[in-house]
Structure 1
Amino acid sequence: MSDPSHRPEDRATAHPQAGERPWSTPLLNLLSAEDRRLFQRFGQGPSWAVPHSHIHHAFERWAAATPHVVAATHLGETITYGELDRQANRLAALLARHGVLPGDNVGLFARRGIPMVAGLLAALKAGAAYVPQDVGIAPVAHLRQVIATADTRVILTLSDVAATIPATGGQVCIPVDTVMDQPLGDGHDAFDAEGIDPDGGCYVLFTSGTTGTPNGVVVTHRNVCNILLTEPGDLGMRPGLLVGQILNIGFDMAAWEILGALSHGATLVIRGKDIAETVESVDVVIATPTILASVDPGRCRRVEVVAVAGEPCPRALADRWAGVGAFYNACGPTETTIVNTMQRHDPAAIRLTIGRPTPNNTVYVLDEDRHPCAIGEAGEMWAGGECVSAGYLRNPELTRERYAPDPFLGGGRMMFRTRDLGRWTPDGELEHLGRSDDQVKIRGFRVELDSVSAVLESVPGCSRAATLKLDDRTLVSFVAPAHLDQAAARKAVADALPYYCVPAAVHPMVALPMTSRGKVDKDALLRLALAEVAS
């Protein structure tokens, strides 16, 4: 079968790609001649043409070519590519009737299921960016902040939760499952909103902010097409393969699962409550290391490809799964579009790395003055090229802080400060050396510790709070003074932030220990937390 997603008439050519010309900047003169050569050679991903400018066009090609193939399945329910396309067209037309225009943001507040997928595609067909939130997990206060920040006037949701959506600004809530249960009829063969900009939003992902207010990252169609429609980001997805959908829709790696499968003609297998059951039944698995560690690879006879990202991967886990199939260790914050570096791991390799830049992307290891680091020298990783997202919604100050003009690519291009520390190995792979700030990953989700502490400090009577990562699944907090109600403090976080931000324990103290510079002594607090666990 020919691949309908790779047709020349839909190639995205508006932007020059990352590796087309040598870098020219005085900054490179700070390096030796050999380091200059390697800094550019290692830092540039391959230059590839991208077959589509809008990710839903790739899905539509498969819907036209293979309408009877199953596109998605969930707990015994299935939907074909043709049916999913027609349902998404109907929903997109409904969005348009409610005033949704290209460039708008549409809430997708749902649980895992086929209606979730149809709603996602409908938003894209209408020219809007979808704003995903799992209504089974997200607190009402968090949803309210998301609605306000994204200025969502229309929200796609489910009939059993529509009444609980905090639509205080007169938002329209459309129950996708109810619409899909109605007879389809005629007139839903196509819906094509005009004026959809490839550099307009594809989705808006919300990450935890330092003040407790979530930050909305605008990721464009160009960004998404670049990672999902080139190798190795496509993970070899193709017709006949089953791709697991196991991640929270509010996590950017869920877009890798959903849009990756549907843009390559594969079948998306949406999990129920049992993650292991789904992983054991599919060919392609995308997960965090924490999730993957809960599954026995010996029971996964079908698995051909596994990709992990979102948090550091233990070497033993990578070695174990590399014996099952192709295993990719990847890295990249939401702002650099799912992942911007990948490496297929070989258990015989000296080290486990996060690999090299993906196609049309760049990575620079820079010092605190944004000067290039010599090869092998540790620094902060900045990302450039087609992966760099459009910035933060309604937060120009944070956008200016994290995004900067790219002096290497030039031409008005931007680069993003990942705050990940790394260094180049002699053979041109990136070693991940941790974070440069207090942003951590818990259960694969990004959490800024200060955002948790800020909520705790809003509790009446709390004068000071500090939050620490105990392990990859656990946060622990300390508060002062000693008489604070621990249960009330945890409830305050649960009411304001997603579940993965809630500390496992809150320890009241008379006062938090301080360093000689007057800052909270987090090392001392961590020792106390570990001693508490040991006892």
Structure 2
Amino acid sequence: MTLRLNNSALVDLPSADRILFQSFGTGPEATPAFDRIHHAFEAHAKATPTATAVTHLGESMTYLELDRQADRLAASLAHRGVRPGDRVGLFMTRSIPMVVGILAILKVGAAYVPQDVRITPAVHLRHIIDTASIKVILTSSDSAPRIPSSDRHEVIAVDEVPRSGEWSPRVPGGSGDVAVVIFTSGTTGHPNGVNVTHANLCNILLNEPGSLGIGPGTRVAQILNIAFDMAVWEILGALSHGATLVIRGDDIEETVRDVDVVIATPGILGSLDASRCRNVKVVAVAGERCPQHLADTWSRFSAFHNACGPTEVTIVNTMQRYDPQRRVLTIGRPLPNTTVYILDQNGRPCPIGEIGEMWAGGACVTAGYLGNDVLTMQRYRPDPFHGGGHLMFRTRDLGRWTPDGELEHHGRTDDQVKVRGFRVELDAVTGALELTADCVRATTVLREGELIGFVSPASVDVEAARKAVEQTLPYYCVPSRIVAVDELPMTDRGKVDKNALPDLIDPLIEVVA
């Protein structure tokens, strides 16, 4: 893919900045080896059939076994009417059958829609099923009772599909462009589905540096929630390179101590004892701001990558290989075949070195929001710099270029924050808190990585407030502390004064952890 920017869109910049706008903001050109991500897995199943593809709690499957089991399930899906371009629910927990399900859905040409059925509220599962027009849901036999019942969809327990017997060859036919639909938080409290294509995934997973040097014999940890876009990086990143995917049990650190590659949020990585994980050779973090000390600690014995990018630009779209000698931590440069533009509030290029909003273009840009054309038009815009019908995405992240062409992250332009790597709309949490009996007003802030809710008056039951959020929003939206106060501080314009809220946090006030 050739990315050449349109100079007519850069007329407001000095000539020197025009050159840097293009050289800094344009990733290198590269061509992925495959145009369907599961075809990369199938190539390794043919080349190294006896290699271990996946392990979990003492069980394992070779590439040949995994490929054939996925073929059997794909044939079953096709028999049930699943066609290329359809969307199939993958409502499961971390397991080998989960991996079988992902590959089977891709093989039949459909897109998988992942959710961890243990922790996703029923109201959100119903919303996802309806929004994605899901007719078939893959799950496990013990999780099937958690799925909302309906005569409009069929539930299949993957672990009950025979692992032996007659083998069905790969289902013939075409393949849809969308590989996975990742649901992210929305301003109304209902998640929005992002259409991530095969082309998007092949570009990040099969090209450097997103490939992370993974190859046959590499052991890659699978520690993240399957609904999180970075779990796609773990799972398909491993299987598309002939590596072994090591799915964790309850103990994350136990898994990490035994692998070569770890992909995680800084929050998860920071919870581990790095001194006990020195077998790890490669680390990639994204999803929230990475503290300097975390990069310093892990880069002493591993190649440490700091990355950034929302789901809408395919997991991440910038990466830095951290140099512990320089000790300059940034979010790096654009990935191959992609662009990053630093623009002002009117969409005009900022001079190099000035802070502006990051817009992403090129092969990372996903295929919009599922069933929400209005939001797609708001966040996905025609790319005036690349042209040719290409789109760019408004990340709402603030950044600026360093003199040597790397990106510094400078926060966000809206009220959306990251908690444990997941995007959380503070207004959605506030709305859930205000469903509590006797709650007159509420607000939510992020303070030092901690989500804190405030409810008023002080007589509000904070335990009931916590349950109100638990019942309506994903687990990561539940505040770690909820403080009940007589009145919330207000500005002279009648808005909650969030700058004054920290003064209300008293260790003697009852909180909910």
TM range (shorter): over 0.9
In structure 2, the partner of 1:206 is 183
Structure 2 partner of 1:108: 90
2:55 to 73, 90, 95: 73
Distance 1:276 1:423 in 2: 35
Out of 477, 487, 497, the position equivalent to 1:521 is 497
Distance 1:300 1:183, change over 3 A: closer
Q: How far 1:186 sits from its partner (Å)?
A: 2.4
Q: Is the 8 Å Cα contact of residues 365 and 391 (structure 2) preserved in structure 1? A: yes
1:62 pairs with 29, 36, 44, which one? Answer: 44
Alignment correspondent of 1:171:
153
Q: From the superposition, tell whether residues 183 and 284 of structure 1 become closer, same or farther in structure 2 (CA, over 3 Å).
A: closer
TM-score of the superposed pair, with normalisation by structure 2 = 0.97
- State the AA in 2 paired with 1:304: K
Matches of residues 41-190 of structure 1 in structure 2 within 5 Å?
41-179=23-161, 182=162, 184-190=164-170
483-492 or 244-253, which moves further after superposition? Answer: 483-492
**AA partner of residue 510 (structure 1):** D
Q: Is the 1:68–1:81 contact (alpha carbons within 8 Å) kept by the matching residues of 2? A: yes
State the distance in 2 between where 1:263 and 1:416 align: 27
Does structure 1 residue 237 correspond to structure 2 residue 217? no
Of 419, 434, 455, the residue aligned with 1:442 is 419
Q: Give the aligned partner of residue 314 of structure 1.
A: 291
Unpaired runs of at least 5, structure 2: none
SS at match of 1:94: helix
- SS class of match (1:173): strand
How far apart, CA to CA, are the structure 1 residues paired with 2:279 and 2:171? 36
* C-alpha displacement of 1:50: 1.4
2:359 is equivalent to residue 379 of structure 1: no
Q: Would the alpha carbon gap of residues 534 and 123 (structure 1) be closer, same or farther in structure 2, given more than 3 Å must change?
A: same
- Is residue 2:468 matched to residue 1:492? yes
Aligned structure 1 segments of 4 or more residues deviating by more than 6 angstroms: 530-535
1:345 Cα offset (Å): 0.3
Contact 2:134-2:153 at 8 Å conserved across structures: yes
SS in structure 2 of the partner of residue 482 of structure 1: coil
| Cα shift at 1:468 | 0.9
Is 2:444–2:453's contact at 8 Å kept on the other side of the alignment? yes
**1:531 Cα shift?**
6.7
Other-structure match for 1:354? 331
Report the alpha carbon displacement of residue 148 of structure 1 after superposing the two structures with TM.
1.4
What is the SS of the residue equivalent to 1:187? coil
- Give the letter for the 1:81 counterpart: Y
Counterparts in 2 of 1:428 and 1:533: CA distance versus 1, 3 Å? farther
Q: Go from structure 1 to structure 2 and tell me whether the alpha carbon gap of 1:481 and 1:102 turns closer, same or farther (over 3 Å shift).
A: same
2:175 to 189, 193, 196: 196
Are the counterparts in 2 of residues 18 and 386 from structure 1 also a CA contact under 8 Å? Answer: no
**1:221-242 CA deviation, whole Å, 9 max, x = no partner?**
1101100000000000000110
**Equivalent position of 1:8 in the other structure:** none
Give 1:53's aligned amino acid.
D
> Percent identity, aligned pairs only?
62
Conserved 8 A contact 1:232-1:358: yes
* CA–CA separation in structure 1 for the residues paired with 2:332 and 2:508: 38
Which stretches in structure 1 are left out of the alignment for 5+ residues?
Answer: 1-16
Deviates most, 156-165 or 355-364: 156-165
What is the alpha-carbon distance in structure 1 between the residues aligned to residue 53 and residue 315 of structure 2?
A: 22
Q: Which moved more, 1:477-486 or 1:332-341?
A: 477-486
Q: 1:18 touches 1:45 (CA, 8 Å); kept in 2?
A: no
Offset of residue 427 of structure 1: 0.3
Superposition deviation, residue 514 in structure 1: 1.5
Structure 1 residue 256 displacement after superposition: 0.4
Matched, 1:425 2:402: yes
Deviates more, 1:183-192 or 1:345-354: 183-192
- Pair 18,507 (structure 1): closer, same or farther in 2 beyond 3 Å: farther
1:468 aligned to 2:450?
Answer: no
Q: List per-residue Cα deviations over 1:109-129 (Å, max 9, x = no partner).
A: 111110000001111111111
Secondary structure at the aligned position of 1:89 is classed as helix
Q: From the superposition, tell whether residues 222 and 533 of structure 1 become closer, same or farther in structure 2 (CA, over 3 Å).
A: farther
Residues matched between the structures, number: 511
The 3-state SS of whatever aligns with 1:60 is helix
2:245 maps to 1:265: no
CA shift, 1:336, in A, is 0.6
Report the CA distance shift for 1:183/1:214 in structure 2 as closer, same or farther (over 3 A): closer
Q: In the alignment, which residue of structure 2 is the partner of 1:412?
A: 389
Equivalent residues of 2:117, 2:146 under 8 A apart: no
> What SS does the aligned partner of 1:30 have?
coil
Asked whether 1:249 is paired with 2:229, we answer: no
Deviation at 1:151, TM superposition (A): 1.4
The residue aligned with 1:398 is 375
Give, in whole Å, the separation in 2 of the partners of 1:434 and 1:534: 31
Relative distance call for 1:532 and 1:439 in structure 2 (3 A) is farther
Compared with structure 1, are the counterparts of its residues 460 and 294 closer, same or farther at alpha carbon in structure 2 (3 Å cutoff)? closer
Following superposition, the deviation at residue 469 of structure 1 comes to: 1.1
C-alpha distance in 2 between matches for 1:298 and 1:479: 41
Match status 1:226 vs 2:203: yes
Deviation at 1:463, TM superposition (A): 3.1
Alignment match, 1:4: none
Letter in 1 for 2:174: G
Residue 147 to residue 532, structure 1, CA distance change in 2 (3 Å): farther
Shift of 1:508: 2.8
Structure 1 distance, partners of 2:109, 2:487, is 53
Q: Which amino acid aligns with 1:492?
A: A
